[in-house]
């Protein structure tokens, strides 16, 4: 079961058929994870480098566990203690890592498009673990797997993505993938946090959260990215929470079996109340577990071990 393109940088590097094959492989990996022995050493003799220029808990640790459970040698490069701090360029870092003969390099970088530079200088297959405001394809895959497992498909599903769309690479990957699989996607944000060319993403756009989530099958809440905000994008956290926060009362507008999702990390009490984040409709912890399974599946396939 190969993936035709060498690298996974944009979710659209995958065909719809390949996405479903990754789901199937991830579900096999979930069976491995449910067993007593999580070691499934099909990547023995292969090597994976995790190169993270930005902070991460979920993505970095799940890629590390994924590689180790599959028997690969995994090296984590923390850029704050690497030669990046001495001013080494991405190109020189790429040329250096290439000489170490890794099979897969997983990178998170703050600059949109950084992965094309890396991929053009290494023989290893490159997986994008998040670049700037551009793409987070493995997050979209785990989000879609979670929806698929609960809803059985995507055709006709009404999915609202609400929050800081402007800064969100998750939203850009989710909106492409969910629409490719047949869902009906609505984007909702304050006008200052909606990209100026959001209409080109193909989804419906609204600035009214109640309209966005009415009769929704799935609500994906996004984190307010305080580290990427310029001042004045919204008047106050309290006002943001009032107009764009998901609370139990507002959730009643959606279908009774509506899934509540969030890529994490959560700003509790800002974009989502603790009552909803911990409530019965929330599948946020399942998303994390599916992230491990999706990353195991991708490493197995892209590392050359999947039949
Ligand atoms: N959702 C996500 O990418 O989380 P981390 O930043 O913790 O990896």
- Asked if residue 173 and residue 130 are part of one domain, the reply reads no
- Asked if residue 143 and residue 100 are part of one domain, the reply reads no
> Are the C-beta atoms of residues 296 and 289 closer than 8 Å to each other?
no
Residue 281 CA to residue 143 CA, distance in Å, equals 15
pLDDT per position as a tens digit, 35-65: 999 999 999 999 999 999 999 999 999 999 9
Whether 5 is in a domain gets the answer no
- Asked if residue 150 and residue 87 are part of one domain, the reply reads no
Q: What is the pLDDT of residue 229?
A: 63
- Asked if residue 226 and residue 214 are part of one domain, the reply reads yes
Whether 61 is in a domain gets the answer yes
pLDDT per position as a tens digit, 92-124: 999 999 999 999 999 999 999 999 999 999 999
Banded model confidence at residue 306, pLDDT cuts 50, 70, 90? low
pTM greater than 0.75 (yes/no):
yes
Whether 66 is in a domain gets the answer yes
Which ligand 1 atom sits closest to the C-alpha of 130? 3
Residue identified by tokens 């995994």 is: 74
- Closest residue by CA, ligand 1 atom 4: 58
Out of 109-118, 133-142, 208-217, 223-232, least confident range: 223-232
Between 204 and 239, name the one with better pLDDT: 204
Whether 1 is in a domain gets the answer no
Number of domains present in the structure of the chain: 2
> Are the C-beta atoms of residues 283 and 261 closer than 8 Å to each other?
yes
- Asked if residue 194 and residue 104 are part of one domain, the reply reads no
- Asked if residue 76 and residue 217 are part of one domain, the reply reads no
Banded model confidence at residue 236, pLDDT cuts 50, 70, 90? confident
Q: Does an H or E element contain 98, and which?
A: helix 90-98
- Asked if residue 295 and residue 282 are part of one domain, the reply reads no
Structure tokens at 122: 């290494």
Give Cα separations from 20 to 55, 88, 270 (angstroms): 29, 39, 34
In angstroms, how far is the first alpha carbon of the chain from the final one? 5
Does position 227 have pLDDT exceeding 80, yes or no? no
Mean pLDDT for the stretch of residues 4-28: 98
Give me ligand 1 centre to Cα 59, in Å: 5
- Asked if residue 247 and residue 120 are part of one domain, the reply reads no
- Asked if residue 79 and residue 93 are part of one domain, the reply reads yes
- Closest residue by CA, ligand 1 atom 3: 59
- Asked if residue 263 and residue 179 are part of one domain, the reply reads yes
Domain residue limits at 57:
11-135+288-302
Whether 78 is in a domain gets the answer yes
CB-defined site of ligand 1, < 6 Å? 56-59, 130, 139, 263-265
As a whole number, the mean pLDDT across the chain is 95
Q: What CATH number is given to the structural domain containing 197?
A: 3.40.50.1370
Ligand 1 pocket test target in 53, 58, 290 with most atoms within 8 Å of CB: 58
Instruction: Give the ranges where the chain is alpha helix by DSSP (H).
Output: 16-34, 58-69, 90-98, 114-119, 137-151, 169-180, 209-213, 237-244, 248-251, 274-277, 284-302
Residue among 111, 282, 271, 110 nearest 190 (CA): 271
- Asked if residue 54 and residue 187 are part of one domain, the reply reads no
Does position 307 have pLDDT exceeding 80, yes or no? no
- Closest residue by CA, ligand 1 atom 5: 56
Ligand 1 pocket test target in 264, 283, 290, 292 with most atoms within 8 Å of CB: 264
Does position 226 have pLDDT exceeding 90, yes or no? no
- Asked if residue 278 and residue 159 are part of one domain, the reply reads yes
Ligand 1 pocket test target in 59, 66, 128 with most atoms within 8 Å of CB: 59
Give me ligand 1 centre to Cα 288, in Å: 9
Whether 62 is in a domain gets the answer yes
Q: The sheet that has 158-162: what strands, in order across it?
A: 204-206, 184-188, 158-162, 218-221, 259-261
Q: Does an H or E element contain 220, and which?
A: strand 218-221
Whether 240 is in a domain gets the answer yes
Question: What proportion of the chain, given as a percentage, has pLDDT over 70?
Answer: 97
pLDDT per position as a tens digit, 119-132: 999 999 999 999 99
Residue 40 CA to residue 67 CA, distance in Å, equals 10
Q: What is the pLDDT of residue 231?
A: 63
Whether 6 is in a domain gets the answer no
Give Cα separations from 199 to 124, 214, 221 (angstroms): 35, 20, 19
């Amino acid at each position: 079961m190969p993936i035709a393109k060498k690298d996974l940088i944009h979710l659209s590097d995958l065909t719809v058929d390949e996405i479903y094959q990754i789901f199937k492989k991830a579900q096999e990996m979930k069976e491995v994870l449910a067993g007593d022995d999580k070691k499934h050493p099909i990547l023995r003799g292969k090597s994976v480098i995790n190169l993270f220029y930005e902070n991460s808990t979920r993505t970095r640790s799940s890629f590390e566990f994924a590689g180790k459970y599959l028997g690969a040698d995994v090296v984590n490069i923390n850029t704050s203690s690497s030669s990046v701090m001495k001013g080494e360029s991405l190109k020189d870092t790429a040329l250096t890592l290439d000489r170490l003969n890794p099979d897969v390099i997983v990178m998170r970088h703050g600059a949109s498009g950084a992965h094309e530079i890396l991929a053009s200088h290494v023989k290893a297959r490159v997986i994008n673990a998040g670049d700037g405001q551009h793409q987070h394809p493995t997050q979209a895959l785990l989000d879609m797997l979670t929806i698929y497992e609960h809803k059985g498909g995507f055709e006709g599903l009404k999915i609202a993505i609400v929050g800081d769309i402007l800064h969100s690479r998750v939203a850009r990957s989710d909106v492409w993938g969910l629409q490719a699989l047949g869902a009906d996607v609505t984007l909702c944000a304050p006008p200052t946090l909606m990209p100026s060319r959001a209409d080109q993403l193909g989804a419906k756009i609204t600035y009214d959260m109640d309209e966005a989530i009415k009769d929704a099958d799935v609500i994906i809440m996004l984190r307010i990215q305080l580290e990427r905000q310029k001042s004045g994008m919204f008047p106050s956290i309290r006002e943001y929470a009032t107009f764009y926060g998901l609370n139990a009362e507002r959730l009643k507008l959606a279908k009774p079996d509506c899934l509540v999702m969030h890529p994490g990390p959560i700003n509790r009490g800002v974009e989502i109340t603790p009552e909803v984040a911990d409530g019965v409709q929330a599948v946020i912890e399942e998303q994390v577990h599916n992230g491990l399974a999706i990353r195991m599946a991708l490493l197995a396939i892209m590392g050359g071990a999947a039949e």
